[in-house]
Chain A
Amino acid sequence: MTTEKNRIAIAILALGGQGGGVLAEWIQHVAREDGWIAQGTSVPGVAQRTGSTVYYVELARPGADGRVPVMAQMPMPGDVDVVVASELMETGRAVLRGFATKERTTLIGSTHRVYAISEKQVAGDGRGNGDKIIAAAQERSARFIGFDMEAATEATHSVISAIMFGALAGSGALPFPREAFEQAIHHSGKAVKSNLAGFAEGFARAQGPVAMPAKAEADLPIPTTPAGQQLAARIYELPEAARTLAIHGAARLMDYQDAAYAGLYLDRLEQVARLDAAPFTLTAEVARHLALWMAYEDTIRVADLKVRASRFERIAQEMKLKDDQVLALTEFMHPRLQELAEVLPTGLARRLLNGGALSRWLEGRFTKGRHARTTGLRWFLLLRMVAALRGWRPRSLRYAQEQARIGEWLDAIATVTARDNTKAIEIARCQRLIKGYGDTFERGLDNFRWIMERHADVDCEQIREWREKALADDQAKHLSRVMAA
């Protein structure tokens, strides 16, 4: 179809640093070698510092009598033959700006995400909905070729521009043979081998169906111990809606503490289930949030997670450590007296935190961040020792505090669900506010309390709105200030 055309308009939407300019040069090289006139334009400017950039390439045949075509300097909505976008939302932007049209555009876009700062900085989940973008890309293009170009880049140790170039060649939207594209990579003379590998991968993936990035699903734990089997048996008595979460929850709490603690979790959950009715959404929500709350992140837990063999292996893998390389890990920990004392037995902890002379002296000793080298013996053994305090945990101050808060929360849920199940669900979900460490944790907890103090007078909608406001706030303000604003 494209062979009869005298002009081909190509828009490339990329983020600064993704090599959109290189891709544009490759395309022009291919076209010029085939006797086309090629022009590339862009507006890099400050956008090349991480912003989104549009590169435009126009290919045209010279006129029969040597007349030179008048070339456009930017993609014109409705007049673009091929769009190549390096990321899912940039694919969306091509559609938004009208570059992709049902009538003629081959839209080639990655389905992976590079999150924008507005999505990242939200205290909860601020991510845009990619499914809507995929649907729009399919509706508003003659053909949509979409796959995870980042994964393809990783797999071939290449760069995303090479993947895009391969996908462009593989789409058949340009009237040039595969070899002509490969020749352009050879001609540029830079990282030829890896670029060709990326090109081949992109070419192949362009033949396949639209594919989203692979999602890692956590396996459902299978009981391996008698204690686990007993708990599992109890879980199968729970409403089905809550079972999967309860299995994850129970397994988490056994790992966190022990079977008895997981048993306490199920006791509490069963109570909620008794007050609940089909479809048992409340039970499911409590199964999730109760487990998270009961597995609160204290110093013991953090130390425990930091020194595990599985963690060392995971990091070595992530860092692509080679056999002849040496890896050193440094943790950035900032334990304050508060966090250290609260894992001690209640009486002792209160004395250390009472603000007296000893307390003040100790506080002064714990104001600095620590660089904990966990691949060295000193810090490894120290953290392992802290992790070993696990057995003491039920006698610790923090334990007492958290169990009291959990108790109040469950009481509130129980009281409310009798009258208004949906509202109880919203209250259960407010646990989501309690997270982080230090100031972040305290602010979250304050926000949680702020809602809990007021829940009696408002409906479920209001609670949800408050919660979402607290999570969406990007300036780390207290909810009372957010509401006042």
Chain B
Amino acid sequence: MAERSFKSEVRKLTAGAGETFTGEGILAVTKGLLQSGVAYVGGYQGSPISHLMDVFADANDLLASLDVHFEASASEATAAAMLAASVNYPLRGAVAWKSVVGTNVASDALSNVASGGVTGGALIIVGEDYGEGSSIMQERTHAFAMKSQMWLLDPRPNLTSIVEAVEQGFRLSEASNTPVMLQMRVRSCHMTGSFVAKDNIRPALTVADAAANPVRDTQRIVLPPANFSHEIEKIEQRWPAGIAYVQDNKLNEWFGDCLETPEIGIIVQGGLYNNLNRAMELIGLADAYGASRIAIYCLNVTYPLIPDEVRDFCAGKQAVLVLEEGQPEFIEHELNTLVRRADLQTRIIGKDMLPRAGEYSAAVIRAGLARFLRAYAPHLAPAEEQANPLPAPVAKEIPQRPAGFCTGCPERPVFSAVKLVERELGPTHVSADIGCHLFSILPPFDIGNTTMGYGLGTAGASAFKPKDKRAIAVMGDGGFWHNGLTSGIGNAVFNKDDTVTLIIDNGYSAATGGQDILSSRADNPERVTKNPIAKAVQGVGGKWVRLIERTYNVAQMRDTLREAMTSPEKGPKVIVAQSECMLNKQRRVKREQTKVLAGGGRVVTERFGVDADTCTGDHACIRLSGCPSLTIKSNPDPLRQDPVTAVESSCVGCGLCGENAHAAVLCPSFYRASIVANPTGWERFSAKLNRAIIGWFQARDSRARLARAF
């Protein structure tokens, strides 16, 4: 079950015509799909698109009632290949993933589906993880749209425009037999707002109907000679059809009339429109409702560009500012070409006045726009502003807060063990993977040399043919099923690689929001779970496989890892480190415990603590853990100056502090407090007896101590 439940939000998806839908952007997209009569949906979770997958997973009944088929795809490639259903049949299908990484994975299938073209509308919803808060390389999905010829929508960031883009996307796709990508920026995915809903539509043809009446057209298959005709078809038929649809249906928008300065204009990606308006408002060139004093051509379709519209907009203008986030600046290049072809003298101004890299926030756009105005419309330009940054001596006191492992995370002890083994065997090359475990590269662990992509931890270590020191690869269970089983383990077996792979088996695709996967231990009525990773490893020929059922056992982790590093046996060594993702476990356990407690049942809760009077404040324990609940506080001892370690009440009692104290021979300050609520009669009795005897001794000792006290 996913980290966040959308059961209550799912009810919103049933909203009928005329009702106002209020919710998150990603939910609005979901509603847009249902309003469009989508027949099937697939995808792979990942920020910022996870919620779309979670919503669909939670909306099972609704989808069943509409005959919509939903799959939590094994990977983005799987999801993209699903679009094959729209090739021969008039089925509307949508797939979703995090981009640009997901599009990378999907690109084989995408190229195929884009080459043969589609009959039913095919919509690819990409969560563009770019800018602040992003966790991936900063690249543009735009390039994929261009290279495979898929249309790219980038609607203005308000829910009405976004939902409309979903609906128009399907129609555009069908009108031009071309898959359409809908780009959702991070903030738009999580943005709340409202729009007026329409009724949900059952697909005219369901996937079951299609399967029952198969249609075959070899012309749609990428194999000579069809592949050559596809290219010609793209240029001669689908391209003009796409342009015509965009133009006829006015998917791009024009703002600003009664202009005082017709000699300049702005072309903006739809997704940046709101930032542009805010920047203009603060300069006094627009009002809060979007009435602009400069002509704006808003590209809700960023690929392809519409030559006639560009010509009409640019004609008579001395200069046009292009606001295009990310690089390379494909739109700017294309605009220059189009202006040239139209034989216009308009200057296209883009990256020469705006940053080449990074998010185009309203502040960035304001600065770029001011520069543009100073050059081409000085009378509109704002006065130069004096920056007033926080002085460095103050700023340096504010620490960075990189993301890290959650309190009680079962992955932390794995890296504590790696650190301990490194102390014995010296530093090792560690090939990291994508997932929560990648936080190992940050303090306090500082473990990991490279990461090459999801599930590619082991593959990333495959160049190392060690003589005596083996490389360590890390892989999550999510990555393992995504592709790591074949790309990593199978490859290592086949090539007799000698690397050590640590598979973090926490029972969920944890980093993306706790979705179930093949090896999840949870019962999931909709999916098949409980397929052990170790069995799969053995299935592809892995011989040296060790299962650790409790990662918190640091000593066992360390010893097993040492064995893997030093064992004379050849071939890949695979350690499957199991323990349930704590975030998900807590949610599960807390609910259960509350129920038991309410019924007067016995519940044991555990928490750790540190004795401040034996803690000397060297924080070695923190350097081996980094748990958020393991922190520091001012030393209560008037003689000591360094802060002591302290455990916050958020501690979930995972046990790592104690295990580390033992495995690394740290200090005797840690204790575990086990609190039994509603204890049994025997527990009550023996605790009382012990307390009485211990209390008697303690009273004696206290008296003696007082007698020799200061």
A residues within 8 Å of B by Cβ?
6-7, 15-17, 25, 28, 32, 37-54, 60, 63, 67-74, 76-77, 79, 89, 92-93, 95-96, 98, 114-125, 127-130, 132-133, 135-136, 140, 215-216, 218, 221, 223-225, 227-228, 231-232, 244-245, 247-252, 254-255, 258-259, 262, 288, 291-292, 297, 301-302, 305-312, 315, 318-319, 321-322, 324-336, 368-369, 371, 374-377, 380-381, 384, 387, 432, 435-440, 444, 471, 474-476
Contact = CB atoms under 8 A, between A and B. Distances in A.
23 contacts: A41-B188, A41-B190, A42-B190, A44-B47, A46-B511, A48-B403, A51-B404, A73-B157, A115-B632, A118-B400, A120-B622, A244-B638, A251-B710, A254-B710, A255-B705, A307-B701, A324-B677, A326-B683, A369-B555, A432-B641, A435-B618, A436-B618, A439-B665
Contacts of A250: 710
Interface in B434-477: 436, 439, 442-444, 446
Interface in B668-686: 668, 670-679, 683-684
B236 interface: no
A225 B707 contact: yes
Nearest to A335: B668
B639 interface: yes
Contacts of A324: 677-679
A308 B697 CA distance: 9
Nearest to A15: B401
A43 B133 contact: yes
Nearest to A295: B639
Q: Which interface residue of A40, A93, A115 has the most chain B CB atoms within 10 A?
A: A115
A54 B684 CA distance: 48
A254 B558 CA distance: 42
B363 interface: yes
Contact of B668 (A221, A437, A475): A437
B274 interface: yes
Given A50-B406, A250-B710, A332 B394 contact: no
A300 to B, nearest CB: 12
B619 interface: yes
A311 B609 CA distance: 12
Nearest to A101: B388
Contact of A476 (B401, B623, B698): B623
Interface in B175-217: 186-188, 190-194
Interface stretch (B108-116, B257-265, B275-283): B275-283
A384 B704 CA distance: 13
Contacts of A95: 390
A70 B671 contact: no
Q: Looking at chain B, what size class is its interface with the partner chain?
A: 35 or more
Contacts of A228: 709-710
Contact of A328 (B363, B636, B673): B673
Given A96-B395, A117-B626, A71 B158 contact: yes
Interface stretch (B11-19, B67-75, B327-335, B655-663): B655-663
Contact of A132 (B131, B393, B405, B684): B393
B695 interface: yes
Q: Which interface residue of A45, A92, A248, A435 has the most chain B CB atoms within 10 A?
A: A45
Contacts of B397: 89, 92, 128-130, 132-133
A225 to B, nearest CB: 6
Interface of B: 22, 47-48, 129, 131-135, 157-158, 186-188, 190-194, 273-275, 277-278, 281-282, 288-290, 361-363, 366, 389-390, 393-395, 397-406, 436, 439, 442-444, 446, 511, 555, 607, 609, 611, 613-614, 616-620, 622-623, 626, 628, 630-632, 634, 636-643, 657-658, 661-668, 670-679, 683-684, 687, 690-691, 693-695, 697-699, 701-702, 705-710
Contacts of A42: 187, 190
A116 B399 CA distance: 6
A218 B638 contact: yes
Contact of A292 (B193, B403, B639): B639
Contacts of A89: 397-399, 401
A377 B690 CA distance: 6
B289 A120 contact: no
A117 B444 contact: yes
Contacts of B684: 326
A307 B668 CA distance: 13
A334 B661 contact: yes
Given A125-B617, A327-B675, 9 more contacts: A40-B192, A43-B186, A46-B135, A49-B405, A70-B289, A76-B278, A305-B614, A309-B698, A332-B658
A45 B133 contact: yes
Contacts of B436: 49
B135 A45 contact: yes
Given A136-B390, A321-B675, A331 B667 contact: no
B362 A76 contact: yes
Nearest to B366: A76
B401 A311 contact: no
B665 A438 contact: yes
A255 B511 contact: no
A38 B398 CA distance: 31
Contacts of B672: 329-330, 332
B632 A332 contact: no
A124 B642 contact: yes
B387 to A, nearest CB: 9
Given A326-B676, A476-B620, A74 B187 contact: yes
Nearest to B693: A377
A437 B667 contact: yes
Contact of B671 (A25, A98, A332, A436): A332
A116 B400 contact: yes
B133 A47 contact: yes
A119 B310 CA distance: 54
Contacts of A384: 697, 701
Contact of B444 (A121, A129, A321): A121
B552 to A, nearest CB: 13
Nearest to A43: B133
B623 A133 contact: no
Query: Nearest 3 CB-CB pairs, A to B?
Result: A369-B662, A43-B133, A435-B616
Given A45-B129, A306-B668, A332 B405 contact: no
B561 to A, nearest CB: 18
A62 to B, nearest CB: 9
Contacts of B630: 120
Given A125-B641, A436-B616, A440-B620, A254 B439 contact: no
Contacts of B616: 297, 435-437
A120 B187 contact: no
B184 to A, nearest CB: 12
A345 B411 CA distance: 45
A315 B619 contact: no
Contact of A311 (B281, B611, B695): B611
A69 B661 CA distance: 58
B324 to A, nearest CB: 17
A92 B398 contact: yes
A380 B697 CA distance: 10
A335 B667 CA distance: 9
B265 to A, nearest CB: 18
Nearest to A231: B710
Nearest to A132: B394
A309 B398 contact: no
Given A42-B187, A71-B274, A444-B618, A248 B638 contact: yes
A63 B363 CA distance: 24
A297 B614 contact: yes
B400 to A, nearest CB: 7
Nearest to A222: B710
Contacts of B690: 375-377, 380
A95 B281 CA distance: 23
Contacts of A374: 671
Nearest to A60: B288
